[in-house]
Every structure is written in structure tokens, then in C-alpha cells.
Structure 1
Amino acid sequence: MPPNERPILVAVAHGSREPRALHTVLELLDRVRELRPGLDVRLGHIELNQPLLDDTLAGLAPAPHARDGAAVLVPLLLGRGYHIKYDLPQAAAAVPGADIRIAAPLGPHPLLVEALCSRLADAGWQPGDGTSRSTGVVLAAAGSRDPESAADARSTAAMLSERLGGVPVVAAYASAASPTVPAAVRALTARGRHRIAVASYFAAPGLFAARSAAATPWIAAAPLGAHPALARLLLQRYDEALTAPYAAQRRELASA
């Protein structure tokens, strides 16, 4: 199917009071458009920034030859949680007659690990750091009360540890879950790991990312931002949803 006949891709960002967050998301979506010329790519925020998701969905106007109201919501969220399970389905259901599918969250996925490693390297991580007995990594995530969200973060931490050569990687959270980032740093220090890096498991800059970075005794990576691997992953989630929407996948798993 030619890109201009495909459903609209609506990237769903959380929203932030940090001005750089919106700029970062817009840069990421420009990368997506470069990878898939002709695909109609739009943006909606859950809160705090314009355009809000409800407004984006209310204004759906298909690209030429696209099916009326057809869209795929691709959350720029890194794991399962309330927004994925409740906010997005409710927003989609509020648009009567539209064919709106919901893609899986971005994580966990090897492309996220690729981006995390790249950001750590930008911050000063060297290939030999993964073999040092004094080195550790805290994977700093936003946090959620949903246990599946924490499970996704731990899965990413395990993949990152393997990618970095076996260095200990501890998932930690800026809110709503434990351990906190400072607590994870202390736990690694107690294990003799004094060169501790913080890998920023955030899609864009914001308060949580800044607080997490401030807790590191060594280096702190930048958020994932508009990394090319993130743009490729966003399109992969979009393509997957055209075959099996995330909500349907969840129903199948629940009934298995």
C-alpha cells in the first residue's frame, strides 16, 4: 500500500512543561517523515502541550486516498501503564465511526537499547567500561504504579546489561515506584560500583530526566530524544498495528 493511502500515524506524546520536550518530539517526527515519505504523521499530547490528543483525533482529515478517519495511535511511551491501557483506548473510542488502531508502547525493544547505548557513548561511556568491576548503570525511568510498567523497565535493563558486556544495570524510577534513582545509586555503590552512569530512559527532556541525571556520581546520558533508532521503532510499531492492533493482542493474551 503506498504511504499516502495508509492510515494516519498519530504519535502520542505525554506532554511536558519543559519547552525542549515539544521541540524534541517534533524533531523525532521529522525523522519519521524522512524515513517514510508521503505518510501523514501527526502529533497529539496526553496533557500539558498542544495539540492535545483529543483535538488531533477530532480533526482527523485523511491524506488523499486514505480511508475516512483511519489512524494508528503510536504512543511515545516506553512501557505499559495507565496511559496505554486506559487513556488511549478512551480517546480512540470517543471518535465515533473512525477506524483507529492503537500500537504497542515503544518498549521494551532492542532498538531502544541501541539508542540507550548511543546516548551513553555520547556522555563518555567507553567500550571497556562494561568489563570494569567498579562500573554500574542505573536505568532511570519515569515510573508507574502498574507492575507491568516496572516489568518492562526491568526487561530493558536486562537487555542493556547484556549489550554493555554484563555490567550491572538497575532499573529505577523518578516517581510512583521503587527503587528511586538515588536509592539505586546507593545500592550499586554498596556493591563496590563507584563509577555509576545514569541511562536516561525518557523520550524527551523534562523534570524527571533532569532530576535523575543529577543523581549520578559519574556520567548521565541524555534522553532518547530524536535518535534515529527511535524513529525506526516508531514506524515498526505503526506497521505492527496495521496487522494486529495492540488492544487486540492484549485481548488474545488475556484469553489464552
Structure 2
Amino acid sequence: MSGTVAAVPIGRAPARGLPANRLQLLAVAHGTRDERGMAVMRELVGRVAGLRPEVDVRLACVGLAAPSVTDALGRLRGDVVVVPLLLGTGYHLRHDIPRALEQAPWVRARLAPALGPDPLLAHALAGRLAEAEARRPGAGGGPVVLAAAGSAEPAAQAAVAGTADLLSARIGRPVVPAGLAGSGPTPARAVAELRAAGHERVSVARYLLGPGHFARAAAGAGGCVLTEPLGAHEAVARLVLRRYDEAAATA
């Protein structure tokens, strides 16, 4: 399969008599050549549309898959709320998406912040962790390594650490943030350090939205338990709509 996503609306009906062009939600994913990863993004956006059927919901990518943000914006008119399907603030959110919006003067866009950190993400991570540990009885219950994509930016690292704190408070266990790229400890190193400290059972929670390069890399961290990526978890879909509502309220 090509890994492309059709630039077509998932939901169209206006609500409460408001013009349809005031209800548009453009969800912008990172994009991946992994068709499974793009299928998960389509599933997530479809779930968002299902929770809010009156909203015109569309999907675009900043790279590696179609439609691009530029192409998606070319099919829109009027008021648009852009919600990044990104777990933290990085180059794409600070530069790539704003640049695409500047080049689309025919839309009146409001850009929402990144999804994380947020208690809803901690809720989704805890759910994925419970699912994974249930599949391997006796292997879990110890500390957790939160395997994020990683970044060299201090603000991005602090955001991952914030999510680790939220998850730790939710599950009542130590959670160590780690990054698959950038500076800081890698998930494999974090697992090794926990084992050296006497923890035999270490779980790895993938703080990633879907399958792809980073998800495969996290699988090699060496934990006793490995979670699925967040994917189309209902809490993630609800968070997308929360970001949409917050940005739309600034209109």
C-alpha cells in the first residue's frame, strides 16, 4: 500500500446552526512511511469525528505521507482549528506548521498546542500498560521506562518528564523518562540502570502515537513488558477535541 491518506472530510454536518466552515478541525500528524502507522492515525481521526460528528475533521501530515499540510489547507476555506497530533512542542510545531499556515491566507487558522503533557495522556498510557502487563502475568508491577521519541531541546525533555510524573502519580510506581533520539538516557540505558539498581521487572511504555521507526526502536529496549503505542485510545481522541475546543474559544 502507498501509505497515503485521502484528503477528504471525515465528518461534514454543521451543528447548532453554525456555518460549517467554522467547525473545521485539521489534525496534523508527523507522518510515516509505515502504512500501519498511518492506519492508526486515520483510526484516531475517525474516532475524533465519531465523538463530534458535527465537526468537519480532516487529517494532514508534516512529512513522509500525504496529504501534506499545504495540500490539506488548499482544500479548506474560512475558519480552521489546527490540532497537532504531536506529543510535544518541537520544530514541526514551532516552524513547519506555522509556515504552512502563513502560506494559506484564505483560511483563518488557530493553532492549538501539542497534546502533551496532559492527564488524559497519562490515562491512556496507564491503560496501555495494564493491557500489556495482563498479557504477561508476573512480568510487570515494577518501575516503568517511558520511551519517547526524544529531543535535544530542554523544553521537550521537560514535557516528557512531566508526563512521566503524571503517569507515576496515576499508577503509583516509579516512571523514568527516556528518549530514543536527542540527548538524555535512551530507553535501553534506562532499563539497564534500573536492573543494575536491583529491579528485575521493568516495563517499557511507548510514549508514541503509532507504529513506525521509533516504535520499533523502543521494542529493543529490553523491558519485561512492552506496551502498544497510544494509538486511537479514546482518551487521546478526547484530548484532541479538548485542544480543538480551547483553540476555538479564542475566536
* Normalised TM-score (structure 2): 0.87
CA drift of 1:193 comes to: 1.4
* Partner deviation per Cα, 1:119-155 (whole Å, 9 max, x = no partner): 11111159x98x96xx110000001222111110000
Report whether the alignment pairs 1:34 with 2:50.
yes
- Alignment match, 2:171: 164
Q: How does 1:1-256 map to 2 (within 5 A)?
A: 2=16, 4=20, 6-60=22-76, 68-124=77-133, 135-165=142-172, 167-244=173-250
Task: Report Cα offsets for 1:171-192 as digits up to 9, x if no partner.
Answer: 1111112211111111211221
Q: How far 1:244 sits from its partner (Å)?
A: 3.7
Find the aligned partners of 2:158 and 2:89 in 1 and give their Cα distance.
Answer: 9
Say which SS state the counterpart of residue 225 (structure 2) adopts: coil
Give the structure 2 partner of residue 251 of structure 1.
none
> Which amino acid is the alignment partner of residue 197 of structure 1?
S
Richer in helix (by share): 1
- Secondary structure at the counterpart of residue 110 of structure 2: strand
User: Which structure 2 segments of 5+ residues have no match?
Assistant: 1-14
CA distance in 2, matches of 1:217, 1:159: 21
- Contact 1:82–1:146 (8 Å) recurs in 2: no
* CA RMSD, 1 decimal: 2.0
Query: SS of the counterpart of 1:72?
Result: strand
Distance 1:235 1:217 in 2: 33
| Matched positions, count | 233
Secondary structure at the aligned position of 1:96 is classed as: coil
| CA displacement at 1:5 relative to structure 2 | 5.5
Residue 243 (structure 1) shift: 2.2
Find the residue that maps to 1:116 and give its secondary structure: helix
TM-superposed deviation, 1:56: 0.3
Confirm or deny: 8 A CA contact 1:17 1:48 kept in the other structure: yes
Distance (Å, rounded) in 2 between the aligned partners of 1:169 and 1:244: 35
SS in 2 for 1:235: helix
Q: In 2, Cα distance between the equivalents of 1:125 and 1:162?
A: 20
For residues 207 and 137 of structure 1, the distance between their equivalents in structure 2, rounded to whole angstroms, comes to 21
- Offset of 1:102 from its aligned partner? 0.3
Mark the runs of 5 or more structure 1 residues left unpaired by the alignment: 61-67, 246-256
